[in-house]
Amino acid sequence: MSVFTTAEPVSQSGWTVFKYGIEKDGSSRENIGVTPYCSHGKISRNESVTTLELPIPGWAEAEDIRQIRKISSISDLTNFITEPGWIVDLGGKVTAIQANSPGSRSLLSAVCGIIP
């Protein structure tokens, strides 16, 4: 299994939106991740997080935008995720993914490393 990022992350209002893929047994899937845990290039809760609408990256396609809007619809998004990780829409269910494995921690670290 491998994890990869497929687009430049975008950060606004303390939220970072990124696209990532997971490849396993010759097949892959891509997801949109949203995290408040990128600050100054490191995995750290961004203190400027607000409940404003999430940024829509220029690279976002219709399905990406749908996922971002679904995540945005969570009523208390700033408290939905309380540990380093990201929020994702998996099969219609918005879920918080904790960065508590080497692969997930590496992915989040790579994403945060791109954001100034």
pLDDT at 1: 44
| Chain Cα centroid distance, residue 47 | 17
Identify the domain containing residue 23 by its residue range. 2-114
Q: Which residue has the tokens 């303390």?
A: 14
How far apart, in whole angstroms, are the C-alpha atoms of residue 114 and residue 107? 11
Whole-prediction pTM value? 0.87
Q: How confident is the model at residue 38 (pLDDT cuts 50, 70, 90)?
A: very high
d(CA 32, CA 25): 21
What total number of domains does the chain contain?
Answer: 1
Is 33 strand, coil or helix?
strand
Q: Which residue has better confidence, 108 or 7? A: 108
Residue 65 above 90 pLDDT?
Answer: yes
3-state secondary structure 40-103: CCEECCCCCCCCCCCCCCCCCCHHHHHHHHHHHCCCCHHHHCCCCEEEEEECCEEEEEECCCHH
> What is the rounded average pLDDT of the residues 25-45?
89
Condensed to tens digits (0 to 9), the pLDDT of residues 84-99 reads 999 999 888 999 999 9
Q: Indicate the pLDDT class of residue 115, thresholds 50, 70 and 90.
A: confident
